[in-house]
Structure 1
Amino acid sequence: MKPIKKHIEEVSNNGIKILLKKFFNLFKECLNFYKKFIFLIKLGLIFAFYEKRNDKIPVKKKILLGCIVWGESYIRKLTEVSFPSYFSKNNIPKLIKEGYEIELIIITEPNDNYKQIFLDILENLLIKNKLSLKDLKIEFIFKEQMNYDNLSSYMICHFEESIKRDSIWFWLCPDILITDGSVTNLVSMIDSNDCCVGTPVFRVKRSEFLREFKNKDNTKENILMLSFKHFFSDIVNSFKTKQSNINNNVSWTTGISIEKSNIGYLATNTLPAVWCAKIIKSDIQYYKKYRANIHDHLWPSKLLIERRLRVVSSSDLCFAVELTEENSIKYPKLNRLGYWHKLRDYPLRYNFENRRNIHSVVMGSFNYHINYDKN
C-alpha cells in the first residue's frame, strides 16, 4: 500500500484524472470485499431463513424423461449405451411395473431414420422386460440446426412440460451410463413437491470402456470395475495416494478428490449434477436468465439455498459415468492454477478452469462413498 504522501504527490502532478482513477480503484476494491465476504454472509442468511412451502404436497407417480440429442456421435452413444442402461431391469421397467406413468420426450433434429431407430431400440428393450411401447409414452420435438448455445432453451422445454404434467423430471443424457437400479433409487429420493436429487458423475475414456462393455452389463459391480480401469485423466489425478505429486493433482478442476478408505473409496465432490427434480417456475426463470452450463455450475447453488437439494451419498444408490472422447482433454495445461494446487484438499476452493461459483463450493462439499475395492 502506498503512503498517503505518495498519493497526494501523484494527484498534484497529474491532476483530476489520477484522482478520479484512484476513487474508481477504491470503489472496485470495496466491491471485491462485498463479493468475497458480505455476499457469503448474505447467502447464509437466505439459507437460514428460507421458508420451504412444498414439504407436505404429495408427489405423483409420474415421470418425464427428458432427452436432448443431436449429431451422429451422441446418437450412437444414446442408442448403444444410455438407452440400454436406463431401460435395464431395475430402472425404468421396474418403475413402470410399480405403476409410474412415464413419458419420454426426445428433442432432436428432424430425421425419420433416427426416429425409427430410437423407436425400434426402445421397443426391443421394453419387450426384453416383458413390456411394450404401449407402456411408455414417447414424444418427439424436432429442432432445426441444434447447437450447444441453445441448450438452455431445450432444457426449459422439458421443464415446462414437466410442470404442465405435474411430473418428476428425469435427465436422460446421451453420453451417460447409469447402473441398474440407480433410476429407481433416485426417484425414490424425491420426497417433496420441489425436491431435486444430485449425484456425482465420473468421466471414463469412451473407447477403452466400451471395448470391454460389449455385454451391456450395467450392474454396479461391472461398471465400477470397468470405471476404475478406464477413468479419464482428471479423475485419475483426483486420487490421493502416497506416491502422487500434489502439484500434478488436478482433482479440484473436476470438483472431486478421492482417497482410499477402510471399505472402498471416499470421494469429496463440490458440485453433484442434478439428475431428477420436481421443477418449479423459478427454475425456469433461472435457466432463462443464465447460460446453458448452469445445469452443472449454477443451478445447484439455487437449490442449496432453497433447501431443495438432496445428494446421493453412495455408489450403492447410484453410480453414473460420462463417456468422454479421448481427444477432448479439457485441461492439457494448468499454468493458470499456480499455487492454488496447494489448496486442493480444502473444501473451500474456487475453480479458475471451469468457473465453478464460489458460493456453490462454500455451501456444498459432499461426501460420496464408492463401494469398491479394486484389490
Structure 2
Amino acid sequence: MRIRSAATAAVAVLGLSVLSACGQTSPAEPGSTGTDGTGTAASSTGSSTAAPDPAADVKALAGVTATGPVDFKTAPKVELGPTPISTTTVQRKVLTPGTGPAATKQDTVRVRVQIYHGTSGKLLDDGFGKNRRDEGYRLGRADLIPGFTEGLVGAQKGSRVAFTIPPAKGFGDSGNAQLGVTATDTLVVIADVSDVHRGLTVLEGKGAASPKGLPTVEFPDGNAKAPKLTIPQGAAPAETQQATLIEGDGPVVEANQFITAHYHGALWKDGSVFDSSWNRGTPADFLIGAGQVIPGWDKVLVGKKVGSRVLIVIPPKDGYGEQGNPNGGITGTDTLVFVVDILDAY
C-alpha cells in the first residue's frame, strides 16, 4: 500500500529514478507494489534469455576510464573505449579505490552516477548535471534495478566504480523506450560513492506512554513485530496530532530525503489495520517533505531524528482528503492512526 496522496501519485522517470520504481511505497493504496519489498521493480527485469558468456563479459570494461578527482563536485572525464559494450552478467571495475567497509545489501550508499548506453555510447543520465547532487539508495530496496544493486555491492566510500547492467538485470525484454534502451542493450554506469552506511533494523527501548486522549501503543511481541493500538473512546482530533514515543539520537530527517521506516496504520473509527510494514516483515522507503506522501507524514516526520518512534493521528484533510482511498477501505471522513519507527534517512 502506498502512503502517497492521489495528487502526487505519478512520478516521472527522470534522472536516477530510471533505476527505481515509478513511485515509492506509501500508506495510501493497499495492494500496490513499491519499496516495501512486496512488489516487482518498475524496471521489469523481464526474461532476457541470452546465455551468460563470462569470458567475454570480463573484457567488456577493459577500455573504460574515468579521470578527474573523486570530489563529488567535478564530473569525471569518461572514455568508454570501443562500443558496443554488451554483457550478459554484471561486470564491475574499480577505477579509484575507496576506504572503509564494502557495501552490502544491508547498507545504504550515496552516489553520483553517469549512465551510458552501452551500444551507442550516449550519456543517458548525468548525476553531475545542474542542480543535481549525490543521491542515496538502500541496496536492500526491492524497487531498484537488480543490476544497479549488484554493481554497487562491494563499493567503498570515496571510490569510483564502473559497472555494466545487462538487459536481464536491467529493463528486461521490454527495454525502456523513453530512454532509447532496447531489450538487447547493456547499460554502463560510472559511480562516485560518497557514503556507505548501515541504517537501524529495529529500535531499542520500550517507549513512552502516549499522551492523554491519543491511542495507546504497545509492542507485546517486541520492537521487531507489529504494535498493538488501542483507540480511545470519543471523537477523533480535528487537527493532526503527534507524539514522539522514543527519541532517537541519529541525524535529523530533512525535506527531500528518503527515510527507511517501519509503520503500522489503523483507522480511528474501529481500530482496523489497513496497512503495516511490520506485518509484511520488511521496512519501506519514502521520499519525505516533497509532497510524495500524505501531508500528515510530511508535516510530522521532517525534523524528527533517526531512531525515533512517532505516533501520528491524521484527520482527512492531512490524509486522503474527501476522496479517501477506496482501495484501502478508507473513506473521506476517516481519521488515520500511524506508528512510525524511523530507521534511516538518506
Question: Shorter-normalised TM-score: what interval?
Answer: under 0.3
Is the strand fraction higher in 1 or 2? 2
**Greater relative contact order (Cα < 8 A, sep 6+):** 1
Is the helix fraction higher in 1 or 2? 1
Question: Which TM-score applies when normalising by structure 2?
Answer: 0.27
